[in-house]
Structure 1
Amino acid sequence: MPKRELLAQFHHLFWVGDLNYRINWQPDEDTKLAHKDNCDPEIFGAFQSHLNEKTLKNVLKDDQLVTSMIDLKAFVGFREPDLRFLPTFKVEKTPGLHYNVCYTYAHICTYVFYSKQFRCLLKFIQPSRLPAWCDRILYRSAAIVNPPKVLSYSALPNVPHSDHKPVESHMNIEIWNRPSGIDDSISQAVLHFQDCSAEGLLAADVSGFFLFWVLVFVCWNLLFLFFGSFSGTSDPYLHWPKQPLLEKPSNSRRKNKTLHPEWNDSRDFEPLLLLRNSIAFMTKALLFLEMRDHDHLSKDELIGQGYLPLAPALDNIGKWQYFEVELTFSGLYAGKFQGRYKIVINDESSKTDDNKAAKKIKKSKVKTT
């Protein structure tokens, strides 16, 4: 199986660790923080006096991770449990939240030869680091499953082994027994698409005005190839890669020189024959998809990935249902793919009567549950 991004592989994904995001806090509009690791003592003191459990929401508005997630610049589709504890960095290696300062190599040597009382004196002459929430817990869930139920999200201030205080979260996660993918009472399941489009795609091609004219003089016969390859747009098409759910990979028709392609013709998408036809299996299944850019001169480029849940189409078998898929590329927002789809299921007795097949599937669904 080809490698895929983490965001397109799992029903639940957790991201835990030191993300090293800081706080862009300032006491007023005229006072700006020069550097996150070189904070003026007055600003450091003002922040500490301002920081308490009642003001956390206001302070979190300036948190770099929160603003990055809102602006879709990082961790697209992820959530964080409600944060209700004080910043966990940078602190003394002692029990409790005692916010620390930067120490240079010279001061570390001084600490070796002098007493702890002198170390306390150094705090008043060293630049202070503005406290921040560096260690975080994030999670992302597919649309067809219930997100984890967060029971707690807290820090452990009494752990003294680092200048970061660890954080923990307790969650309940929905699990299910994986059913068989094949139902012998169903001959085939076919997925159809209609009125599909994409928007906000990445521009895979770059502007090459100078190179364009060089190529005109070098090889006039190949001009049309390079004209499309440096237009500042993409030649997108949808690719269904090899995966357990499909009988074979498939591509849509290519749309040239656009970041907002539309596939309105019934011939733009071939019907996808599903290799797994069990209704219980497909209810939790995710169909992986890739948005690619066609390149005349090199290998086609990947410009977005996502997954399409089949559960909405199974609620009304044989009827068109609207879908919307958020695309990501290297963890960043890469556009949106949307349209209508339906699943047509034929049983052995009547391959054209979808209603009879739907009734039969509903009965099998009751038995499996």
Structure 2
Amino acid sequence: MNNRYKLHSSGGSAGRTFDLRAIAAGSNGELVTSTNRACRVTVKIYQAKDLKKRLLAYDVSDLFFKLRLEDITHKSREIKGVVDQNGVLVVNQNFTFDVKDFKSAQLSVQVYGKGLFGFDELIGACQNIPVKLLMDIGNGFSEGEGKWYDLFIKDGKRKLPGKVLMNIVAGIAEPEQNICVFVGTWNVGNARPPEDLSAWIPISGAYQIMAIGTQECDYPPRPPFTDCGKDWLETLRKHVGRQYRVIRYTSRGQMRLIIFVRDDAEKAISDVDSGSEATGVANVMANKGGVCISFKFWDTGLCFINCHFAAHDGQCEIRNSNYRDIAGQLQIGLQSMDILNQFHHVFWIGDLNYRLDFGKHEEKPLTPQRRFWSKTVKQILDGGYRELLQYDELRREKASSRVLHGFKEGVIQFPPTYKMQRDSIQMYDQKRMPAWCDRVLWRTLQGCHTDLLSYTYSPQIVTSDHKPVSATFGLTAYALPSSKSEALNDSDDKRWHVRFTSLRAKNLRASHINGFSDPYISFIGPNLAQSFRSKVKYQTLNPVWNPLKELPTLVLNIFPLQRLEKEYLMVQVHDHDSQSTKDILGYAAIPLASAVTAFNKGPRELSTFRVELSHCGLPAGTLEGGMKLTWERNVIKRRSRFAREIMAKTLSLRNSLRKTMSVDKFAHEKG
């Protein structure tokens, strides 16, 4: 949009509000205007301790938190852990608020547990925390890793023994920020890594985000640690330095993923989540699979997936199957959407184990023939390895859309990273044919862009039979106006609506034995006032919906146009099945930017879209059509009001008929 807006950072007294005008002509010619840009408050609850109920005993796993700021309330997930010997309970949950008036806003934090009859019982509450005080701390940050806040009884007059460890940050950002991201992957080979990792992981502080994934990371820990995971985490902490903090650390089996954020960017992080999926023996053993961490940098969603696929030559289809299992079954963020269509940027890294497939040129024993191996290695050492990339399985499978469809990879200008002789910089082990097993790929939603800045390997790391690989990226993160509006108090309850002018799907997957499906579409996500669905189209793979009779009008929960043009409609295409509601044909995300552009041009302008559907990370057809953005009274409330009026008239008519019948009956009996 042309009506750009300026935001200012908020350290100390520099915090200011600013006007944002998203001007749009409504149906009656009036103006629709957004309010001041909200500041962002992120609350991170790390731990709680010494929690005691005054009257009733409770199970600590029933605990949860309620946080309120202005008119927004967040409730935590139920806490599953147990207290340790020091009475400490691990919480590790994040909450994000957009605040309209940071000068008067106050944060309320309450701790609840289940009472005798299963009702929620307040255990204690922190004293209300003014947001303005948070803004007055340098750069909007709380000092250190967090602060212990005392709990009080409900009226705040008597202190309780309980405490909550929280880090609360607040700030106002530029609307568009260019950030740099470092992504690294390494198969550690179950050997102790070197203490100096600077050949692989930079310590320049140039990156706001650093994502580091490892595989076969289960080596004998170094004192004082008795657990490899803690040893590795501390090794990385020490290496990147105090200017970085851990967003989330997750592991499964020998796979580990750690995300760091630079301290001056920590206030931009929210909605942190993590998950994992095993693809090993019987899809239960965690020797292979993937681990995942997602979060928002301001309002831009990022997701990092670290994987370890099946090994050995001749196992290409199993590797493809590993990918489909992870892409289709790993649940994170919005549980009803797949991981590839709900984040602006997805980074897929790991030891993907794709090999060089020479076809008929070579037999496929586990250990390659010495003559052929020697010829290949000489070609690599002579610098002719680029010619070998034509035999790379991953490139072939990706080009045929059998794996990592829609993902991009940089130009490979480094030699194969596997299989290396340990303690050597460039010598290969004859036990296996060299291959580019270790890769970094990325995928962005339609309308987003990522710049690859570098893609390389680190030969100086010599403790493993793999060399570490890294890539760096530049991307734009958006800090958008609050999704809420004072228009909520408007008696007319006007909202943005999306009306489809056409909609069709092509080349859907067949889910019935007759080669057809019975598709319908669900529109879901936090952008919508509620979920909506289309009518079912029977016995077809290329359905066309009538926009007047078979498609809903979508009512949005977003008010400022500046935010709306960066949002997406989350879409599920289902197969209608009376026995199941989980038969998904595909997922997609429809950008709303073109609809906003059309709206700004004039009331008669329409926008068109075409998006690819995916299922288990592979192509599943397309969805295309036209849509129109309108500003009008909430059609949901209009319909419910109309239904109430009909019901009232029906009841009134019924009562009148009863009275008439009673009078007639009385007259008849008297006669």
Q: TM-score, normalised by structure 2?
A: 0.42
In the other structure, the counterpart of 1:332 is 618
1:61 Cα offset (Å): 2.4
In the other structure, the counterpart of 1:73 is 402
State the distance in 2 between where 1:269 and 1:3 align. Answer: 21
In the other structure, the counterpart of 2:390 is 61
1:85-136 CA distances to partner (integer Å, 9 max, x unpaired)? 000000111231211132xxxxxxxxxxxxxxxxxxxxxxxxxx22110010
- The percent identity for this pair of structures is 29
Residue type of the alignment partner of 2:354 = Y
State whether structure 2 residue 610 is matched by structure 1 residue 277: no
Matches within 5 A, 1:277-296: 277-296=559-578
Secondary structure of the 1:175 match is strand
State the distance in 1 between where 2:520 and 2:362 align. Answer: 46
Residue type of the alignment partner of 1:74 = V
State whether structure 2 residue 439 is matched by structure 1 residue 153: no
In the other structure, the counterpart of 1:139 is 442
Residue type of the alignment partner of 1:238 = I
Secondary structure of the 2:439 match is strand
Counterpart contact for 2:367–2:430, Cα < 8 Å: no
State whether structure 2 residue 496 is matched by structure 1 residue 189: yes
State the distance in 2 between where 1:180 and 1:191 align. Answer: 20
State the distance in 2 between where 1:246 and 1:36 align. Answer: 55
In the other structure, the counterpart of 1:363 is none
In the other structure, the counterpart of 2:191 is none
With over 3 angstroms needed to count, the CA separation of the structure-2 counterparts of 1:52 and 1:273, relative to structure 1, is farther
State the distance in 1 between where 2:351 and 2:568 align. Answer: 30
Aligned with residue 198 of structure 1, among 498, 505, 527:
505
In the other structure, the counterpart of 1:37 is 366
Secondary structure of the 2:353 match is coil
Counterpart contact for 2:341–2:445, Cα < 8 Å: no
RMSD: 2.2
Counterpart contact for 2:501–2:626, Cα < 8 Å: yes
Q: Could you say which structure has the higher helix fraction?
A: 1
Counterpart contact for 2:368–2:430, Cα < 8 Å: no
With over 3 angstroms needed to count, the CA separation of the structure-2 counterparts of 1:75 and 1:62, relative to structure 1, is same
With over 3 angstroms needed to count, the CA separation of the structure-2 counterparts of 1:293 and 1:176, relative to structure 1, is same
1:163-189 CA distances to partner (integer Å, 9 max, x unpaired)? 110101121121121321134469311
Counterpart contact for 1:53–1:86, Cα < 8 Å: no
1:201-231 CA distances to partner (integer Å, 9 max, x unpaired)? 111123xxxxxxxxxxxxxxxxxxxxxxxx2
Residue type of the alignment partner of 1:190 = H
State the distance in 1 between where 2:611 and 2:469 align. Answer: 32
> Whose relative contact order is higher, 1 or 2, with alpha carbons under 8 Å and at least 6 apart?
1
Secondary structure of the 1:61 match is helix
In the other structure, the counterpart of 1:262 is 544
State the distance in 1 between where 2:550 and 2:384 align. Answer: 54
Q: Which moved more, 1:170-179 or 1:150-159?
A: 170-179
State the distance in 2 between where 1:53 and 1:135 align. Answer: 21
With over 3 angstroms needed to count, the CA separation of the structure-2 counterparts of 1:143 and 1:52, relative to structure 1, is farther
Secondary structure of the 2:371 match is helix
Aligned with residue 429 of structure 2, among 100, 105, 118:
100
Residue type of the alignment partner of 1:278 = P
Residue type of the alignment partner of 1:130 = M
1:298-321 CA distances to partner (integer Å, 9 max, x unpaired)? 435111111111111111114221
1:67-88 CA distances to partner (integer Å, 9 max, x unpaired)? 1111111112111112110000
With over 3 angstroms needed to count, the CA separation of the structure-2 counterparts of 1:36 and 1:322, relative to structure 1, is farther
Q: Which moved more, 1:167-176 or 1:338-347?
A: 338-347
1:257-305 CA distances to partner (integer Å, 9 max, x unpaired)? 1111111442221110111121111121121100100113443511111
Secondary structure of the 1:174 match is strand
Counterpart contact for 1:7–1:13, Cα < 8 Å: yes
State whether structure 2 residue 314 is matched by structure 1 residue 7: no
1:190 Cα offset (Å): 0.6
In the other structure, the counterpart of 1:305 is 587
In the other structure, the counterpart of 1:226 is none
Aligned with residue 606 of structure 2, among 306, 313, 320:
320
With over 3 angstroms needed to count, the CA separation of the structure-2 counterparts of 1:340 and 1:58, relative to structure 1, is farther
In the other structure, the counterpart of 1:111 is none
Q: TM-score, normalised by structure 1?
A: 0.74
Secondary structure of the 1:43 match is helix
1:53 Cα offset (Å): 7.9
In the other structure, the counterpart of 1:360 is none
Counterpart contact for 2:426–2:459, Cα < 8 Å: yes
State whether structure 2 residue 523 is matched by structure 1 residue 240: yes
State the distance in 1 between where 2:383 and 2:507 align. Answer: 39
Q: Could you say which structure has the higher strand fraction?
A: 2
State the distance in 2 between where 1:146 and 1:346 align. Answer: 33
Residue type of the alignment partner of 2:339 = L
State the distance in 2 between where 1:278 and 1:287 align. Answer: 16
Secondary structure of the 2:361 match is coil
In the other structure, the counterpart of 1:220 is none
In the other structure, the counterpart of 1:91 is 420
Counterpart contact for 1:199–1:336, Cα < 8 Å: yes
With over 3 angstroms needed to count, the CA separation of the structure-2 counterparts of 1:341 and 1:55, relative to structure 1, is farther
Secondary structure of the 2:447 match is coil
Counterpart contact for 1:25–1:59, Cα < 8 Å: no
Aligned residue pairs: how many? Answer: 292
State whether structure 2 residue 340 is matched by structure 1 residue 23: no
State the distance in 2 between where 1:300 and 1:21 align. Answer: 32
Counterpart contact for 1:22–1:36, Cα < 8 Å: no
Question: Which 5+ residue runs of structure 2 have no aligned equivalent?
Answer: 1-333, 488-492, 635-671
Counterpart contact for 1:21–1:132, Cα < 8 Å: yes
Residue type of the alignment partner of 2:521 = L
With over 3 angstroms needed to count, the CA separation of the structure-2 counterparts of 1:56 and 1:269, relative to structure 1, is farther
Secondary structure of the 1:47 match is helix
